[in-house]
Amino acid sequence: MADLSDSVTLLTGVGPKRIQALKELGIATIHDLLYHFPFRYEDLKVKDLNEISDQEKVTLKGIVVATPILTRFGPNRNRLVVRLLVQQQVVIVTFFNQPWLKDRFVPDQEIAIFGKWDQRRQSMTGMKIFTAQGDDHGMDAIYSVNKGIHQGVLIKLIKEAFDKYKTLIPESVPASIRAHYRLLNEQQIVGQMHFPKDNAEAKAARRSAIFREFFLFECKIQRLRGIERSVGNGVALHYQLPAVQEFISKLPFELTHGQKQAVNEIAKDMKSPHQMNRLLQGDVGSGKTVVAAIAMFSAITAGYQTALMVPTEILATQHFEKLSALFATMDVKTALLTGSTPTKARTQILEALRTGKINVLIGTHALIQDTVNFKNLGFVVIDEQHRFGVDQRKKLREKGIAPDVLMMTATPIPRTLAITTYGEMDVSSIREMPQGRLPVKTSWVKNKQSEQVQTFLAGQLAHKNQAFVISPLIEESETMDLKNAQALYETYVTAFEPKYKVALLHGQMNNADKNAIMTAFSQDEIQILVSTTVVEVGVDVPNATVMIIYDADRFGLSQLHQLRGRVGRGVKQAYCILIADPKNDIAVQRMTAMVATNDGFELSEKDLELRGPGDVFGAKQSGLPDFKVGDPVADFNVLQAAQIEAQQIFSTDPDLDLPDHQGLKTYLRHFGAIEQLD
Ligand code: ADP
Ligand code: MG
């Protein structure tokens, strides 16, 4: 029996060449073809001369005033000029290289022509002729095609497929939901997406198609989560509440509201038997590390080991020191493991780890080496999670038996992407800063003002403060990066030495040299640190109050915000100075946004708006699903509604047993797989 999984080869005229061309468009079955929707339409309705604009494609109706004139320039090049009287005005319509059209134009006859309007010349390049009466000539759907297949051919195939298969198109969105949101049924969606009578029909179809697409996507995610949970593949961590409370009460400060909420969300996950997969996001300095420490401590009271993986050695060392201090009163044994841990110490650590004498292991990629074996790893924290690949995160997870995983990021994910890309992850957000912290003051200056910047810097240095200076980012050229940084370093040496010490940090230095410089900077032996961004400057130097960024317009918003987060970590007022002569409007908007707000969440939304969702993390690695009709940013409300409906269904009828859910069940059985989820 025929159904939508039939191959397109069953259609007329589909031979090997077209099969290949269709395959390149992602079309193999009738289903693929019917859901290969147009990306726009051309409205062929007749328009009034004074409601059209330059270069618009429109249909005009008029009377042919004279026999058209055909001029030939060469064997295959010619021009047909038709004079058309439209609303008391003569409009010249030119058709190129279609001499056979000459006979279609009979003087004194009314005709409608579709073409591209030239406002200045008050003329048109003709593309299509309509002889039918009336003003309504329907809509033309425009598809993405390739060399091997033309619009016309594709449309013909879709038409044939639709005529043959339309009654076989199954419903996937439950009828109750369709009724509630007044959505078209699936046959109507497909029919009107491809062959709308008018704009209103096309719009109605699109609206329903977007909901359908988002809804089915969210259902896939819900189902996936359901599978993970029902297997009960995690371990319930029974932490000892009094001990955890004691630990929290010994902290030198009160937790912020956001921290408390994050701690509660994590605790709930830990208690439950499913494997936690949670992202904790919050600006630099919002107190994520403390939250992670509480969670790790809880896991320890439940009898498990924990691990914290960070992207750089400097950061690992700093975390190790911070956490060791926090855990000092609680009889918790911590250890640091990085690439530069000496062999002997390493052997001892690995042994203590195997026997369970170490409670918390902190380190870099060194943690995922094969020789690292835990006794019972139950809780894993990954800081700056986006800096690690999927495989690396997986490797660390596999050091334990389904440990709970907490990932942390200071690059907040816009809410649109939290629902889509990270649909399989739970998200906790800390939106406020601990009390008493002064927001960084940001200003944007032009290159010609860089002398004033140095004067300002001199003032700050006189108050015993320190500064970061970030040199321009030259994409794809480390050599150029280094040259730039060196030149900038010379400038600062000339201006500030010997009174203050200036140092250069760049990506081609080895780890030992980098560490030595960072240590000297944090101990105020260096006052000005000139650096390329290639270098991770993710280190706490509370005395650094100035961040100067050259050619700031070359950086993305999230990168700028990260850099700014390096200052303002102490009690003194901090400053971020962006030096830029932006060349386009988007760069101007980025500078303006940086000056306007210190809120990383707000900036991430702005970033998304300015760059489009595909660019946020680089299209490929973002794992952002490739929606065909809907736009997760522009259609966010629909996405949200679709998510709520999907959640509702799976919380009340997880196995999709209700009659109204049978279509959905069948759909998910065929198309339920989601790519890219790790
Ligand atoms: P993050 O990891 O989010 O960048 P940290 O956890 O390192 O932030 O915290 C930044 C600084 O703020 C640390 O010195 C930490 O001790 C301090 N801190 C954290 N939470 C609070 C709080 N609730 N009140 C005051 N200071 C806090
Ligand atoms: Mg941190």
Q: What is the DSSP letter of 532?
A: -
CA of 501 to the centre of ligand 1 (A): 29
**138-176 per-residue burial string, b: 16 or more CB within 10 A, e: under 16:** bbbbebebeeebeeebbbebbebbbeebeeebebbbbee
The pLDDT tens digits of the residues spanning 377-399 come to 999 999 987 777 777 888 888 89
CA of 289 to the centre of ligand 2 (A): 5
The pLDDT tens digits of the residues spanning 213-259 come to 999 988 988 887 666 555 456 778 899 999 999 999 999 999 999 99
The pLDDT tens digits of the residues spanning 56-70 come to 999 999 999 999 999
CA of 233 to the centre of ligand 2 (A): 29
For a substitution probing ligand 1, which of 288, 290, 294, 564 has the most ligand atoms within 8 Å of its CB?
Answer: 290
CA of 40 to the centre of ligand 2 (A): 45
Give the list of residues 6+ apart from residue 217 with CB closer than 8 angstroms, or none: 420, 423, 625, 627, 642
Q: What angle do CA 64, 62, 96 make, to 5 degrees?
A: 65
Burial status of residue 332 (CB atoms within 10 A of its CB: 0-12, 13-18, 19 or more): buried
User: Residue range 34-55: average pLDDT?
Assistant: 91
Give the list of residues 6+ apart from residue 60 with CB closer than 8 angstroms, or none: 46, 47, 49, 84, 86, 91, 112, 113, 115, 117, 124
Q: What percent of the chain has pLDDT over 70?
A: 92
pLDDT at position 639: 87
Burial status of residue 554 (CB atoms within 10 A of its CB: 0-12, 13-18, 19 or more): middle
Q: Over 60: is that where the pLDDT of 618 sits?
A: no
Q: Over 60: is that where the pLDDT of 53 sits?
A: yes
Burial status of residue 559 (CB atoms within 10 A of its CB: 0-12, 13-18, 19 or more): middle
The whole-angstrom separation of Cα 383 and Cα 263 is: 16
The whole-angstrom separation of Cα 284 and Cα 302 is: 29
Residue 462's CB is within 10 A of a number of other CB atoms, namely 10
pTM score, whole prediction:
0.65
pLDDT band at 474 (very low <50, low <70, confident <90, very high): low
Closest residue (by CA) to atom 25 of ligand 1? 434
What SS3 class is residue 388?
A: coil
Give the list of residues 6+ apart from residue 175 with CB closer than 8 angstroms, or none: 660
pLDDT at position 246: 95
| Phi, psi for residue 419 in degrees, rounded to 5 | -75, -35
CA of 671 to the centre of ligand 1 (A): 45
Q: Which of 182, 209, 215, 225 is nearest to 646 (CA)?
A: 215
The whole-angstrom separation of Cα 632 and Cα 621 is: 17
Check if the beta carbon of residue 90 is closer than 8 Å to that of residue 60: no
Q: Over 90: is that where the pLDDT of 358 sits?
A: yes
pLDDT band at 612 (very low <50, low <70, confident <90, very high): low
Give 146-152's long-range contacts (Cβ < 8 A, gap of 24+): 146/21, 146/24, 146/25, 147/21, 148/17, 148/18, 148/20, 148/21, 148/22, 148/24, 149/18, 149/21, 149/22, 149/25
Residue 246's CB is within 10 A of a number of other CB atoms, namely 14
Q: Which of 333, 254, 323 is nearest to 295 (CA)?
A: 323
User: Residue range 117-143: average pLDDT?
Assistant: 88
Q: How far is residue 504 from each of residues 509, 511, 522, 559, measured CA to CA in Å?
A: 10, 14, 14, 20
pLDDT band at 568 (very low <50, low <70, confident <90, very high): confident
Q: Over 80: is that where the pLDDT of 589 sits?
A: yes
Q: How far is residue 271 from each of residues 245, 274, 276, measured CA to CA in Å?
A: 16, 9, 10
Look at 651 and 376; give whichever has higher pLDDT. 376
Q: What percent of the chain has pLDDT over 90?
A: 62
441-597 CATH choice from 3.40.50.300, 3.30.540.10, 3.40.50.1010, 3.30.70.380:
3.40.50.300
Mean pLDDT, the chain, rounded, equals 88
The pLDDT tens digits of the residues spanning 458-468 come to 999 999 999 99
Tokens at residue 191, please? 């029919």
The pLDDT tens digits of the residues spanning 659-670 come to 999 999 999 988
Q: Which atom of ligand 1 is nearest to the CA of 436?
A: 25
* CATH top class, domain 241-430: alpha beta
CATH H superfamily, domain 45-137: Nucleic acid-binding proteins (2.40.50.140)
What SS3 class is residue 117?
A: strand
Lowest mean pLDDT among 38-42, 187-191, 624-628: 624-628
The whole-angstrom separation of Cα 503 and Cα 279 is: 36
* Topology alike, domains 241-430 and 441-597: yes
pLDDT band at 617 (very low <50, low <70, confident <90, very high): very low
Give 73's Cβ-side CA count (13 Å radius): 7
For a substitution probing ligand 1, which of 289, 362, 384, 406 has the most ligand atoms within 8 Å of its CB?
Answer: 289
Tokens at residue 554, please? 């070359």
| Phi, psi for residue 472 in degrees, rounded to 5 | -60, 150
pLDDT at position 623: 41
Q: Which atom of ligand 1 is nearest to the CA of 282?
A: 3
What is the domain partition of the chain in residue ranges? 45-137, 241-430, 441-597
The whole-angstrom separation of Cα 393 and Cα 381 is: 10
ω into 498 cis (within 30 of 0): yes
Provide residues with CB under 6 Å of ligand 1.
253-256, 259, 282, 284-290, 434
CA of 523 to the centre of ligand 1 (A): 20
Q: Which atom of ligand 1 is nearest to the CA of 259?
A: 23
Q: Over 90: is that where the pLDDT of 161 sits?
A: yes
The whole-angstrom separation of Cα 436 and Cα 206 is: 50
